[in-house]
Structure 1
Amino acid sequence: MGRKNIKDLRRQEIVKAFYKTAKAEGLQNTSIAKIAEAMDVNPSLILHNFKNKDELVLALIDYILSRYQKIYSTQKDGTSIDHLKEVLNNLFSRKWNALISDDVYYSCYSLIFRNNVIRSKYKELHDSLRVWLESHLLECIEEGSLKLEDPKRTANLIYTILEGAYYYLCMEKNVAKKDEIMEQYKQHAYDILKLEA
């Protein structure tokens, strides 16, 4: 059992080094040799843990999902509606960018068109994000602080707005303009929920 934990830790360490290298060099320019150099290890250590770069990319997508879960962390105190507002404020903020580089995210995303396993991983990632938001909506409904006919559909709609916003904002260089546009999109989400921002 201890051996498995050490192996898991080593794999996580490699994936983090892969992410950092891909962020600095670009995903397409990142090789096993460059990751090994960044870690100051022999490339055979990486190949002992991952068969090839494709397997590393799959692990990277799992890493992205685990990072995105942090956006759902809320203060322990407060009501369900307080937690939902905190999550919405996090979702429609630049906290996403601090979690995962847009460059790495979209470079991995582009692989869905050529690799069915990566497509499935990304679908799983996006479905999970929607389910997490839906669970917050359901908690608010149970609390009596929110009235929705179809929380699943509402979560999907909010995520459609969010994904479109981030895709578009990748092209905007002006930080103030980005914040202004994101604030508008956040307001749309609050309007859908009939909540005050």
Structure 2
Amino acid sequence: MGRKSLKETRQQEIIKVFYKVAKKEGYENTSIAKIAKVMDINPSLIIHYFETKEELTYSLIEYILERYLLIYTIKNKDGATLAELKKTIEMLFSKKWNLLFDDGLFYTFYALAFREKEIKAKYKTILDSLRLALATMIEQCNSKNLIKVTDPQNTADLIFVLVDGAYFYLSLENNKKIYSERLAYYKNIAYQVLGIEPLSLSTGILTS
């Protein structure tokens, strides 16, 4: 892999600070001036890389996708293993997945998608990419006769319907015990859809 250019590195730094400021103060209250103040740089430097807040927002949404896709780790050149598929399901229904991106910002941008076509298109790309990556893992496990899923694409879609619905509903739940129990319940449904045993019931050892 080639090294990132200075421009790409600087843009990544700005995007990450934008995320932190927006998470703390809210997207609506975040401005290029505030980002520059936190970074201790002149606002004109940010404008050099991102002319408007909207342009910066689009880049942040692409950053979301990159972070979410990190959960798909396939080490075997011959395709996904059953252990990797299970690890992915565990990640999808875990605190670690939910902490990849702030709920408040995620749903703020989701709401903006109803008003801005470009944000809507980018969010669609995120959701489609996540589904496609999971469907590919399922297909690879199918080809090795590790599982028998008749429609990998629709199965992946159904699992993400569970994921999206679960986190939206549970974001309103303050009771940690209920939160954990419901998340475990939704995760087990995902395993049922795949026709495999949950990781906790499996005799195999999952490696990182």
User: Are the equivalent residues in 2 in contact too, given 1:74–1:87 (CA < 8 A)?
Assistant: no
Question: How far did 1:97 drift?
Answer: 2.4
Aligned partner letter, 1:11:
Q
Give the aligned partner of residue 126 of structure 1.
127
Give the aligned partner of residue 73 of structure 2.
73
Scaled by the length of structure 2, what TM-score is found?
Answer: 0.89
Distance in 2 (CA, whole Å) between partners of 1:19 and 1:181 is 29
Give the aligned partner of residue 15 of structure 1.
15
Question: How far did 1:73 drift?
Answer: 2.9
Aligned partner letter, 2:26:
G
Secondary structure in structure 1 of the residue aligned to 2:27: coil
CA RMSD of aligned residues (A): 1.8
Aligned partner letter, 2:143:
E
Distance 1:15 1:142, change over 3 A: same
User: Are the equivalent residues in 1 in contact too, given 2:98–2:167 (CA < 8 A)?
Assistant: no
Distance in 2 (CA, whole Å) between partners of 1:174 and 1:47 is 43
Distance 1:89 1:104, change over 3 A: same
Distance in 1 (CA, whole Å) between partners of 2:69 and 2:179 is 23
Give the aligned partner of residue 102 of structure 1.
103
Q: Given the alignment of the two structures, is residue 45 of structure 1 paired with residue 45 of structure 2, yes or no?
A: yes
Aligned partner letter, 2:123:
Y
Aligned pairs for 1:24-63 within 5 A = 24-63=24-63
User: Are the equivalent residues in 1 in contact too, given 2:113–2:119 (CA < 8 A)?
Assistant: yes
Aligned partner letter, 2:191:
Y
Q: 5+ residue gaps in structure 2?
A: 199-208
Identical pairs, percent: 47
Distance in 1 (CA, whole Å) between partners of 2:22 and 2:59 is 13
Give the aligned partner of residue 164 of structure 1.
165
Distance 1:169 1:75, change over 3 A: farther
User: Are the equivalent residues in 2 in contact too, given 1:74–1:86 (CA < 8 A)?
Assistant: no
Aligned partner letter, 1:114:
R
Distance 1:79 1:122, change over 3 A: closer
User: Are the equivalent residues in 2 in contact too, given 1:15–1:59 (CA < 8 A)?
Assistant: yes
Aligned partner letter, 1:163:
D
Question: How far did 1:126 drift?
Answer: 0.2
Over 6 Å off, 4+ runs: none
Q: 5+ residue gaps in structure 1?
A: none
Aligned partner letter, 2:54:
D
